[in-house]
Amino acid sequence: MGCVESMNYEILMRDGSFKECRAYIKEHFTEYIEVQPGFKILDIPVIGIPPIAIGLDRDFIIFPYTKPCHGTFLLRVEDTAEAARLRAVKKSK
């Protein structure tokens, strides 16, 4: 299982609701993929209400990250291989 703390991430939104994060992704990123809860992003099972929107912006992945006490964060992480994998998943759907 991956660990967010080991990643070089940028927080686009903090203490938001899950729905606010989903709306933000759909409003700000023309390229996104919808996945089910438990789908792994950077080896981390994603938490949320299906369908979960994952934004793609060049080599950046934008995804919700939920913690019980702090709500949902919207994180932006650069990972060329993972962005390519997600695009392949989207294409195969």
Partner 1 sequence: MSGDTSVQPATALLVLGCPQVPVQTSIALYLISRLKRAGIVPVVAGNKAANMLLVIADPDRHYLGEVMDLDRAVAQISEKKRDFDRCFVFIHNDAGISYAATMGAISHGKLFTLVYGEHFEELVSQIEFPCTTIAAKAVHNPLPLKKALDEVAPWAA
8 and 78 Cβ atoms separated by less than 8 Å? yes
Taking the least distance from each CB to partner 1, the nearer of 35 and 61 is 35
Contacts of 80 (CB under 8 A, 6+ apart): 59
CB 66, min distance to partner 1, A: 5
CB 58, min distance to partner 1, A: 27
Contacts with partner 1, residue ranges (CB under 8 A): 1, 17-18, 36-40, 45, 47-50, 66-72
CB 64, min distance to partner 1, A: 8
DSSP β-bridge partners for residue 61 = 56, 77
